[in-house]
Structure 1
Amino acid sequence: MSDNCTCGCGNDYDQTLMTVPELFGTNVFNNKTMKERLPKETYKALQKTITTGSSLPPDVASVVANAMKDWAIEKGASHYTHWFQPLTGTTAEKHDSFISPTDDGGVIMEFSGKQLIQGEPDASSFPSGGLRVTFEARGYTAWDCTSPAFLKEDESGDVTLCIPTAFCSYKGEALDKKTPLLRSMSVVAKQALRVLKAMGNTTSSIVSSTVGAEQEYFLVEKEYYLQRLDLMTCGRSLFGAPAPKGQELEDQYFGAIKDRVSSYMKDLDIELWKMGISSKTKHNEVAPAQFEMAPVFTTTNMATDHNQLVMETMQKVALRHGMVCLLHEKPYAGVNGSGKHNNWSLSTDDGINLLDPGQTPEDNAQFLVFISALIKAVDTHADIMRATCGSSGNDHRLGANEAPPAIISIFLGQELSDVLEKLAKGEKICKKGACQTLKIGVDSLPELPKDNTDRNRTSPFAFTGNKFEFRMVGSAQSIAGPNVALNTIAAEALEEIAVRLEKAKDVNKEIQAILKDAMTKHGRIIFNGNNYSAEWAKEAEKRGLPNTRNTVDALKAFISPKAIKLFGKYNVLSKDELHSRYDIYVEQYAKHINIEALTAIQMTKRQFIPAAIQFVAELGASLAAAGKYGSVQKGLLEEVGKHLEAAGKKVAKLEVETKKAQGISDVAKQGAAYRDKVFPAMTDLRGDIDALEAIMPDTLWPVPTYSDLLFNL
């Protein structure tokens, strides 16, 4: 290892002296590296596969594999792994070395095209939701060549070649989040291209869905983290009285970044940049000890891969700095939780953003068509969008005046909404001082700069100039599911529009009719006001918009006839695959609440009740010694005794409800039991424990407090 290298990667260059452009992508088998290392014809064949989805000939795969192996070995790698994303929501990898035995008792380093393209990890221990029986272990990983291979490094200097892959069963069912994502990207691309061609676009040949996923997170001192069983097992604090100071002074948001955190962020950027992840923005978020990182847009499957790496790298780098990164949606009660803003758009291979209003009449018409499609898609399938954001962690966040409510609506901004409404009705629009009736495809819209209105941070699906920001996604969640839904519902709406345009005698008149239908039939989904207000909840109910407040109910949308028809029509997810995901996600909800309940029981019985008993004993002795002057001790003794007795009864009730829920075999009924019985019992217990914390001395309280956790970085 070079004396100059401080990252533990084994590379012989001094990364501290490299410029960011020189550092960026050094651990990625990207387009530049492929050009340098692959024969010209091999490179062309691989690019054809990447851009068109055609199969890669075996002889080409062998050349690519050998070049990739040589590159990885030069960088210090001895192993490779097919890196995939099972339905656990995290990533998985099985490492194999490049070594192959020789007849003379030695080894050579080999990596074949077959090994590159397909792997066979044991699939028996991953959740399958009934798609397969547990004694059948076979599963296959297949190379996603549209997402470049990369190197992962650890502090020991170990380097592994990671090959992004899809993961399916022996019979071809999707056992992962990548497979349906790739399917959905294909169908939305196909239908978007149909619309463009029907509108006379002859230059665009490829459409890609693109995403930029902003990631919020908390940092906490590792020493304190290790003293909190709830943080270690659940990712959130199950107990904790409010600190004297929270976020009420609004001094954390965009505030000066502390040196220690800045050092962490610098190292995080370096690690991400080396893996080709374009970490762009970093800042303090609203809550104490909360922060955010935002990348530049890229294609949706790469953005999904990158976000999984972002979360993993955030946690890994934090440990180097003596901290722990918390990705749970609500680590601490009483302060903002964390989300993941999923910025989604559609772009062509010739540089056109299909959600950009543009400056010419043709652009305006194109923009209006795609906006109309999104209005229809989101209104028709709001329940599916909500389901993709369901988790036990996100239930704490949605609708808590820090994130969008559980009601799906679209924010367009008043100016754009007015234009759409008037165009749909054929009314006059004032433009440059004059009022006229605009004709689509002939006249240009009133100028719509990217920031034509104030940003609405309360909206779950907000148009922000050239993209839609889906703000409901939880911070710990994979963005695959939400984007599978977005791509597929958009594809359905675009196909309907494509059929109409292909049959139309006058395309511009048909666009006018499409816009009118979207606004008339689906305009109810547009809301530009305060989504946090009680008035909006009432108004949304009048409009017939769903308001599903918990995950167990939200997930039912996956197995509705509407969802089965939608995803089945485009071969994104079969009926069985949808049912499997419903079962898995409800079961995951139940398991998370079960872990929280068992943790709460253990902490209460082993830590909080013994501490309170000790305090009662000390108060009793002090009261006896004080005699008639012991009024303070008497009052404290009564209050502590009251909460201690209540905590004892409530922890017993929590144990009973947890055991009952554990014994329920039906997935849906079990999820409901954890939601309706176990979680409320746990919340009720917390009230007394937090009350005890507020009156007991620091010397007796057995775990670090919110003041310790939030203000000691």
Structure 2
Amino acid sequence: MVNVPEIFGSMVFNDATMKERLPKATYKALKKTIDLGEPLDISVANVVANAMKDWAVEKGCTHYTHWFQPMTGVTAEKHDSFIDPAGDGTAIMEFGGKELVKGEPDASSFPSGGIRATFEARGYTAWDPTSPAFIRDTTLYIPTAFCSYTGEALDKKTPLLRSMEVLSNAACRTLKLFGKDVKKVTSTVGPEQEYFLVDKEYFDQRKDLIFTGRTLFGAAAPKGQELDDHYFGALKTRVKDFMADLDVELWKLGITSKTRHNEVAPAQHEVAPIFGTTNIATDHNQLVMETLKKTAEKHGMVCLLHEKPFAGVNGSGKHNNWSMCTNEGENLISPGKNPINNTQFLFILAAIMKGVDEYADLLRISVASAGNDHRLGANEAPPAIVSMFLGDELEAVVKSIVEDKDYATPGKVPMHLGVDVLPEFKKDTTDRNRTSPFAFTGNRFEFRMLGSAVNIACPNIMINTIMAEELNQFCDEIEKADNKDKAIKELIKKTFTEHQRIIFNGDGYSDEWPVEAEKRGLPNYRSLPEALAHFDDQKNIDLFVKNNVHDEVEIKARKVITLEEYAKTINIEALTMLEMAKQDILPAVSSYVKELTDTALAKKALSDAIPTSVEEDLVTTLSNDLVSFVEKIDTLSEDVVKGNDIEDAQEKANYYHDVVFAAMNELRAVSDEMETITSSDYWPYPTYDELLFGV
């Protein structure tokens, strides 16, 4: 039996531990930094470092690491021991404020988009005191930001913290318009995480899963998700044991793993935490993904976080539940019981509407990846068109304001199920819409476009910065008005009127929606290269520079990094396909054709009366397929060679999407057809049947 209160946060240098181990003055100073963003003095850092080291050593730690999130999409860590020579042949365990506050990793070995060259190696990691340190195995992990020697952000944490700060300032300024003196506003996030589990024995036999995280070849299994029987279904014993261990490991790290269940596709599952401050939630989500993989290994399985590991079944994403809360605990995205009279909420809602409409391109860019291109708009995720779902109640509120009509809140209606023994309850005032990219869900907005492998810092940087910009614009206008109440109401009506095109409560999967969206002037960027082309549009550069979240160098560097990563990802996939096709599939099918030929010849040798039409038809079909297969291998090989010669990042990404990826799909189609008629004794890889139903 697991004692959850006892183990929860036991491996975290959290508030309770700090209060216990730090002098009162040090604790108060550190809390001011964490809660109010005040600067931290080095003398405070020295005391904190010593207490942190003592706590970690007592827990069995021998090393510490500055844990950061470079532009690779995964975390990075370099371990240093606490050992310090004592001069008499012995050693003591030392760790001071200098080591806590600053580290120096090699900046030129991480993606920099041209900011750092190979000979310009120095970079810095800086302690993020707002995200608590934690222990994994025998190492103390210190969450940090990562920047170059010249000061540019080379990670995802630094701009996230900048965006949180600028949003806090803008939101506090906004609340002053409504007579509230608030010291700090934090954005909060609850990211739901989807993933697949496959048997490690099968995984190890698939080069495509090993090198790319997804199956590049594979015919559909006889059964998929069409019966809807896996979603919320009973957990298999092996999966349940895995989830139980996962929860324990996450709880130790102070991660509020709340929900676990089977997802839509066979072998697909989900874990979801409770809301947390955005930078901490981002750190936690990285830990969730890492812990998923490590825990799966202990159970003889592999966790797949690719957005589309299997063709033809549901892909994996994560829902970014975003809100804003004051340091006094008020949720600024909560409409209250009567939203039509909640002017503060309507003011903030107007800013969100305006921001999502004006910067839909940035929201789409924030979730762009080679993997996510497979699922957006594929009847399993929102479309690539960014729109907002408000629900019946809020849409009616907006409409009444735009049209100057009276509105009466319907209130919550009792739900009658027609069975006396079932309890009566109140149903919500609005439905949910799983096809909406940016959906209001009661007291938060759920940004549903994120892929399962994405670092959630990226979309939250965008949302925070956009919100800060819009709120500041509103404040600029209202603060100079003579009659502020009247100006606020006029601004809300004007904004709702001008940006109502972004609201769509209908079916995002319908064929009519892209046509309607085009009429409304909403962008529809179907691929990463198409979306990234707009990252450094002037309006986007102005947004980030004005709000001190990115400078122009950082923006252009991030664009290059993302485009290069896309091209490299497709290139790796193409090379993997070619290796599998040439070394495994082609010989396997040829061997099977030989067996069929030998069988037909043996029958004929025995007697001309024995029919051989079955073997002859299969030999003819597979031989023709092999000819086509080799032709498409040659085409893909030539396309990859040509792609390697392209230097411009945008041009190269476009080429890999339009040419290489298209050639890969053609090669796969022939292979998958051959798989369906080749004996399983000859097929070189575990099939979808085994991968999806083998756990």
Q: Check whether TM > 0.5.
A: yes
67-76 or 118-127, larger mean C-alpha shift:
118-127
Q: How many residues align?
A: 676
Contact 2:198 2:301 in 1 (8 A): yes
Offset at 1:506?
3.0
2:314 aligned to which of 336, 343, 346: 336
Alpha-carbon separation, structure 1, partners of 2:262 and 2:591: 40
CA contact (8 A) 2:306 2:371 kept: yes
1:574 offset after TM fit, Å? 0.7
1:572-651 paired onto structure 2 within 5 Å: 572-627=549-604, 629-651=611-633
Tell me which of 158, 161, 175 is aligned to 2:154: 175
Displacement after TM superposition at 1:501 (Å) = 2.6
The equivalent residue for 1:96 is: 80
Match of residue 134 from structure 1: 118
Q: What residue is the counterpart of 1:678 in the other structure?
A: 660
Residues 172 and 184 in structure 2, CA contact (< 8 A), matched pair in contact too: yes
Letter in 1 for 2:53: K
Equivalence for 2:481 = 504
Using the alignment, how far apart are the partners of 1:148 and 1:481 within structure 2?
21
How many Å apart are 1:50 and its aligned residue?
A: 1.4
1:415 to partner: Cα distance: 2.0
**Deviations, residues 364-421 of structure 1 (Å, cap 9, x unaligned):** 1111111111000000000011001111000000010100110000000122101111
Q: Is the 8 A contact 1:460 1:471 kept in 2?
A: yes
Answer yes or no: is 1:383 the counterpart of 2:361.
yes
Counterpart check, 1:278 vs 2:256:
yes
Moved more, 616-625 or 678-687: 616-625
Matched, 1:455 2:429: no
TM-score by length of 1: 0.93
Aligned in 2, Cα 1:360/1:613: closer, same or farther, shift over 3 Å? closer
Q: Give the deviation of 1:292 after TM superposition.
A: 0.3
Q: CA–CA distance in 2 between the matches of 1:643 and 1:530?
A: 40
For 1:682, the aligned partner's letter is: M
Cα distance in 2 for residues equivalent to 1:704 and 1:397: 24
Aligned counterparts of 1:605 and 1:108: Cα–Cα separation in 2: 57
CA distance in 1, matches of 2:616, 2:525: 48
Does the 8 Å CA contact 1:184/1:488 hold for their aligned counterparts? yes
Q: 1:205: how far off?
A: 2.0
TM-score (norm 2): 0.96
Q: Which residue of 2 aligns with 1:415?
A: 393
Structure 2 vs 1, CA of residues 636 and 399 (structure 1 numbering), >3 Å: closer, same or farther? Answer: same
Letter of the 1:533 counterpart: S
**Does 2:167 match 1:188?**
yes
What residue number does 1:118 align with? 102
Instruction: Indicate whether 1:324 and 2:306 are aligned.
Output: no
Partner Cα distance (2:497, 2:592) in 1: 66
2:423 counterpart residue number: none
Deviations 1:113-151, CA, capped at 9 Å, x for gaps: 010011111112100001121211100000000000000
Q: What is the CA distance between 1:553 and its match in structure 2? A: 1.2
Write the letter of the residue equivalent to 1:162.
Y
Q: Among 262, 274, 277, which residue is 2:240 paired with?
A: 262
Q: For 1:508 and 1:253, locate their aligned partners in 2 and report how far apart those are by CA, in whole Å.
A: 49
Structure 2: segments with no counterpart, 5+ residues: 412-425
**Which of the numbers 44, 47, 60 marks the counterpart of 1:76?**
60
- Measured after TM superposition, the shift of residue 103 of structure 1 is 1.3
Output the CA distance in 1 between the equivalents of 2:319 and 2:523: 21
**Aligned-pair CA distance for 1:431:** 4.8
- Partner SS state of residue 408, structure 2: strand
Query: What's the counterpart of residue 63 of structure 1?
Result: 47
Once the 2 structures are TM-superposed, how far is the Cα of residue 512 of structure 1 from its aligned partner?
1.8
The CA deviation at 1:510 is: 2.0
1:31 matched to 2:48? The reply is: no
Match of 1:156 in 2: none
Counting only pairs closer than 5 Å after superposition, residues 243-322 of structure 1 correspond to structure 2 as: 243-322=221-300
Q: Quick one: distance in 2 between partners of 1:581 and 1:514?
A: 35
User: Which of 28, 38, 51 lines up with 1:44 in the alignment?
Assistant: 28
> How far apart are residue 450 of structure 1 and its match?
9.0
Does the aligned pair in 2 maintain the 1:229–1:599 contact within 8 Å? yes
Deviations 1:467-511 (A, max 9, x none): 000000110010011000000001111111112232233333222
Match of 1:312, SS state, is: helix
Kindly provide the amino acid, as one letter, of the partner of residue 85 in structure 1. Answer: Q
CA distance in 2, matches of 1:417, 1:197: 27
Instruction: For residue 141 of structure 1, give the secondary structure of its aligned residue in structure 2.
Output: strand
Matches within 5 A, 1:340-355: 340-355=318-333
Q: Which amino acid aligns with 1:277?
A: I
User: Where does residue 145 of structure 2 map in the other structure?
Assistant: 166
Asked if 2 retains the 8 angstrom alpha-carbon contact of 1:450 and 1:466, the reply is no
Q: Is contact 2:596–2:615 with CA below 8 Å preserved after alignment?
A: yes
Distance 1:432 1:473, change over 3 A: closer
- Residue range with higher mean Cα deviation, 287-296 or 639-648: 639-648
More deviation in 55-64 or 396-405?
Answer: 55-64
* 1:653 pairs with 2:635: yes
One-letter code aligned to 2:329: G
Decide whether the 8 Å contact of 2:49 with 2:96 is kept in 1.
yes
Q: Do the aligned residues in 1 keep the contact of 2:147 with 2:155 (CA within 8 Å)? A: yes
Q: Please tell me whether residue 146 in structure 1 is matched to residue 146 in structure 2.
A: no
RMSD, aligned α-carbons:
1.3
Supply the AA of the counterpart residue of 1:379: D
Contact 1:98-1:110 at 8 Å conserved across structures: yes
Kept in 2: contact 1:199–1:501 (CA 8 A) = no
In structure 2, distance between residues paired with 1:665 and 1:362: 55
Is the CA contact 1:242–1:334 (under 8 Å) kept in the aligned structure 2? yes
Deviations 1:10-42 (A, max 9, x none): xxxxxx5x5211110000000000000000001
Structure 2 residue identity aligned to 1:199: F
Q: In 2 relative to 1, CA 217–432 (structure 1 residues): closer, same or farther, beyond 3 Å?
A: closer
Secondary structure of the equivalent of 2:219? coil
What SS does structure 1 have at the residue aligned with 2:224? coil
- Does structure 1 conserve the Cα–Cα contact (< 8 Å) formed by 2:107 and 2:116? no
Pairing 1:545-584 to 2, within 5 Å after superposition: 545-584=522-561
The 1:450/1:486 distance shift into structure 2, 3 A limit, reads farther
Change (3 A) 1:335 1:131: same
Contact 2:63 2:139 in 1 (8 A): yes
Equivalent AA in structure 2 for residue 633 of structure 1: E
Q: 1:523 to 1:361 in 2, by over 3 A?
A: closer
- Matched-pair contact (CA < 8 Å) for 1:420–1:515: no
**Residue aligned with 2:461, SS:** helix
C-alpha distance in 2, partners of 1:584/1:54? 33
C-alpha distance in 2 between matches for 1:496 and 1:581: 26
| Matches of 2:62 and 2:658, distance apart in 1 | 51
Paired residue secondary structure (2:535): helix
On the 8 A contact 1:450/1:464 being kept in 2, the answer is: no
Q: Deviations over 1:300-352 (max 9, x none)?
A: 00010000000000000000000000000000000000001000000011111
Distance, in Å, in 1 between the alignment partners of 2:434 and 2:338 is: 30
User: How far apart, CA to CA, are the structure 1 residues paired with 2:329 and 2:401?
Assistant: 27
- Partner secondary structure for residue 559 of structure 1: coil
* Cα separation, 1, equivalents of 2:431 and 2:321: 17
User: For the Cα contact (< 8 Å) 2:393–2:409, is it kept in 1?
Assistant: no
Alignment correspondent of 2:501: 524
Task: Give 2:685's aligned residue.
Answer: 703
